[in-house]
Structure 1
Amino acid sequence: MSRISIILPAKNEAAALKDLLPRLAAAQPEAEIIVVDDGSTDDTRAVCERTGVTCLSSPYSMGNGAAIKRGARAASGDILVFMDGDGQHDPADVRRLVSRMEEGFDMVVGARSWESQAGVGRGVANTLYNWLASRMTGHVVADLTSGFRVARAARFREFIHLLPNGFSYPTTSTMAFFRSAYGVAYEPIKAAERVGKSHIRPFKDGIRFLLIIFKIATLYSPLKLFGPVSVVFFMLGTANYARTYLLDGRLTNGSALMWSAAVIVFLIGLVSEQITSLTYRRDE
């Protein structure tokens, strides 16, 4: 029987963990539970000690993704369960996600409904991410940024070096699994309102979330991003040449510049594609 390790990154989540950890231990009594304390200044560590849960503490905040990586390295289970430490995820859903893996999947992600999104802005952004990821992978991506997921430990550790230290580890891991032809499934869940204040900063993190869109494309297949951009430059150069030829009977520097940009962008995409292929190549 597979051993389960449950990993919860936490930064000042003591209020939520007081209720979450006992419920989690009751729902999964045989599982290894690891709380990765990401430089908390509250009594997160004390809460873990009182409930008998393993706590990995950092001397300072390294980021949500860094906590995930530290927990994945320390876990002894064959199956890794990742949950947020803010009380949004229901411990009873762990069994459903783990059960889906028995159908042959390598990762099962808890997919939130629109009602479970943290605000309209976040809901719209996540819908955009899901649409783009679905177009890139050719598979339906129901929730790209969900932090509630179950994965086979050996598969997940293959991509630890790709995971960022920030908040976008769900995006990276999902696209990495798709890129490597590992089975990914989505199981509907209902996320509760988080306990305490969110660590997401709308203005500062807005740019970061925008960059996720480009990261999705470059992480999975760079040519699917650079190719269309190259075509746009080529078409603009051709349209400009047609205009200047009809008006003045000449080729302008503007058209030549856009054609050159088209070639350069395409070559960058081609090189990026090769780098991506090498990144995902496994040493047998």
Structure 2
Amino acid sequence: MSSLSIVLPAKNEAEGLRRTLPALRQQVPDAQIIVVDDGSTDETAAVAAEYGATVLVAPYSMGNGAAIKRGARAASGQVIVFMDADGQHDPACIPQLLARLEQGYDMVVGARNWSGQAGMHRGAANAFYNWLATRMTGFEVKDLTSGFRVVRADKFREFLHLLPNGFSYPTTSTMAFFRSAYAVAYEPIPVAKRIGKSHIRPLRDGVRFLLIIFKIATLYSPLKLFAPTAILFFLIGLGYYAYTFVTQGRFTNMSVLLFSAAVIVFLIGLISEQITSLTYRRDA
């Protein structure tokens, strides 16, 4: 089996680590365990060190994605496991995910069911993300935002520059793997109730979730988002022109505006598609 590193981003997760780290040591005793302390104000770093983990401490909070990037750079294993430090993810699931990875996949994501979602609104949002990502990629996406995943380290590091410092690293990394034709699999996992207080804020993160929707599209194929939008503008313009021609016998400025918007949106999509292609281009 390939050498293994486990990365746990943690912000004020001392209590969660007291439960997670002993279970990790028992399940994968030879793995490198890295706890990235994202500016905690509790005993997160001390608890991680107490249980023998490698501790990376940030002087202030940089975000979950930033912690993931720091941990990925420090990981020495050929395979990296990313999981939460709050007790939601069961270390006993790691062998199951690793076994799936050995079947030829480059990333295996622990897929939560509806009961594993953090509330009805989060479950509904994630269901929509999964549907949209499935439509965009042509592959069934069972859990786009799960933070419990196993990846091949060399392939994951190719996309570190794309990952945001905030919470949407799972979305970005998954879509990047699909775009680069790296094989992604989903494995059902149970999810326990988190220990401690969630760092997600509904009002602030509502905007973040909206941005994720656009990120899903732009990370994979922008034209799949912009082309239908351009067609919609064109059809509305055509319908409005037909209406004004029949009722007024003329071609109005509104029709010109709608037709122009259709052309502009399509051209933006075309340019975005070229930029995306350059982003994922790998030099031989």
Please classify the TM superposition score into its range, dividing by the shorter chain length.
Answer: over 0.9
CA positional deviation for 1:50: 1.1
Cα distance between partner residues in 2 of 1:197 and 1:208 = 19
Secondary structure in structure 1 of the residue aligned to 2:62 = coil
How far apart in 1 are the matches of 2:70 and 2:63? 11
Q: Name segments (4+ residues, structure 1) moved above 6 Å.
A: none
> Which secondary structure state, in structure 1, belongs to the residue aligned with residue 196 of structure 2?
coil
Look up the match of 1:2.
2
State the partner residue of 1:93: 93
Query: What code does the residue aligned with 1:64 have?
Result: N
CA-CA distance at 1:276 after TM superposition: 0.3
User: Matched residues, percent identical?
Assistant: 70
Structure 2 gaps of 5+ residues are none
- 2:186 aligns with 186
Question: Matches of 1:183 and 1:65 in 2, distance apart?
Answer: 22
Equivalent residue number for residue 30 of structure 2: 30
AA aligned opposite 2:2: S
Report what 2:61 is aligned to: 61
1:234-255 alpha-carbon deviations (Å, 9 max, x no partner): 0111111101111111100000
**Any residues of structure 2 matched to 1:80-159 within 5 Å, and which?**
80-159=80-159
Partners of 2:107 and 2:49 in 1: CA distance:
30
Deviations 1:186-225, CA, capped at 9 Å, x for gaps: 0000110000010000111111101101110111100000
Query: 1:42-73: per-residue Cα shift (whole Å, max 9, x none)?
Result: 00111012111111000000000000000000
**Superposition pairs for residues 180-259 of structure 1, below 5 Å?**
180-259=180-259
Q: Distance in 1 between matches of 2:83 and 2:32?
A: 13
Structure-1 separation of matches of 2:207 and 2:50: 39
Provide the C-alpha distance between the structure 2 equivalents of 1:19 and 1:208, rounded to a whole number of angstroms. Answer: 30
Give the TM-score of the pair, scaled to structure 2.
Answer: 0.99
The secondary structure found in structure 2 opposite 1:84 is: coil
| Unaligned segments of structure 1, at least 5 residues | none
CA distance in 2, matches of 1:215, 1:45: 33
1:173 CA drift (Å): 0.3
Give the whole-Å Cα distance in 2 for the aligned partners of 1:95 and 1:175.
Answer: 24
Structure 1 residue 19: Cα displacement? 1.2
Question: How many equivalent pairs are there?
Answer: 284
Distance 2:118 2:63 in 1: 20
Q: Displacement of 1:115 after TM fit? A: 1.0
State the 1:283 CA deviation. 1.4
CA root-mean-square deviation:
0.6
Give, in whole Å, the separation in 2 of the partners of 1:196 and 1:210: 26
Deviations 1:19-52 (A, max 9, x none): 1101101100010000000000000111012111
State the alpha-carbon separation in 2 of the partners of residues 229 and 168 from structure 1.
25
